[in-house]
Amino acid sequence: MIDLHSHLLPGIDDGPSTLDESLQLARIAASDGIRHMVVTPHIHPGRYENQIATIEPVLQRLQAALIEHDIPLTMSMGAELRISAEMISMIPSGKIPFLGEWEGKKVLLLEFPHNHIPPGSDKLIGWLKAQNIIPMIAHPERNKEIINNIDKINPFIEQGCLLQVTAMSVAGQFGAKAFEIAQELLARDWVTVLATDAHNVAHRPPILSEGLKAAANIIGEAAALRLVKETPEQIIHSHAP
């Protein structure tokens, strides 16, 4: 399986603090059947001022440690960008990593705030599309505004956005409301990929298999496998082995 959303880099955001913790997470992922992970540290103006120049050396250090410790897992670089007006200046600077490509467009993992969808988000997404960038909205099933009214996601589906749903949400481990929304998004055939959004060993480990099984009960095994294998592989085809 391939995981397109994970926080495994040490000391760079709210993921693991140390390299040892990162390696612990990597072992869990490999044991779960994940062979490739895109590391997606937060880029959040005013909070996590990451960019390619700060992410790359940390990723290289972790990649070397994976080889040194014989952990059968490969990694490539991405980021989880918080939607904001600042991205209009950040993206043209070439400092923001993309997940890969989809139908000839660069794929950007885009995060809404937890509590709401900011006014004007549709305009920012329109701007991204004009730059030949397709947003993949991170964990919409955990956004409170969407939880309260699933149809709040409709305008973004109509704009052609991709959706990344958290595997643990589908498995019922992010609460009943996120579980219900995740199931409905799957039933509507709106989910592009399942990913772990892993942060730590205790509460948010890099496990895809449980979400895969739960998704298969809703959409069938073949369709569920596409969400963790074929589709993410297509997106990162230039990065993954």
Residue pair 5/206 in contact (Cβ under 8 Å)? The answer is no
pLDDT, mean of residues 149-162: 97
Pairing of strands 100-102, 105-111: antiparallel
Mean pLDDT taken over the chain: 96
pLDDT, mean of residues 161-171: 98
Q: What is the DSSP string of 116-156?
A: ---TTHHHHHHHHHHTTEEEEEE-GGG-HHHHH-GGGGHHH
pLDDT, mean of residues 56-75: 98
Domains of the chain by range and CATH?
2-235 (3.20.20.140)
Residue-level pLDDT at 7: 98
Residue-level pLDDT at 240: 42
Q: What is the pLDDT of residues 97-153, one digit of tens each?
A: 999 999 999 999 999 999 999 999 999 999 999 999 999 999 999 999 999 999 999
- In the chain, count of helices (H) and strands (E)? 11, 10
Residue-level pLDDT at 239: 47
pLDDT, mean of residues 71-88: 96
Cα–Cα dist 74/63, whole Å: 7
Please report, rounded to a whole number, the percentage of residues in the chain having pLDDT higher than 90.
97
Higher pLDDT, 45 or 188: 188
The pTM of the full predicted model, rounded to 2 decimals, is 0.96
Confidence category of residue 237, pLDDT binned at 50, 70, 90 = confident
Residue-level pLDDT at 46: 87
Q: Which two tokens stand for residue 54?
A: 């700060």
pLDDT of 75 higher than 50 = yes
Cα–Cα dist 39/78, whole Å: 6
pLDDT, mean of residues 62-70: 98
Cα–Cα dist 152/140, whole Å: 10
Residue-level pLDDT at 207: 98
Cα–Cα dist 76/70, whole Å: 17
pLDDT of 241 higher than 50 = no
Is the torsion defined by CA of 225, 112, 58, 12 positive or negative?
negative
pLDDT, mean of residues 60-64: 98
Residue-level pLDDT at 45: 87
Cα–Cα dist 180/112, whole Å: 19
Confidence category of residue 238, pLDDT binned at 50, 70, 90 = low
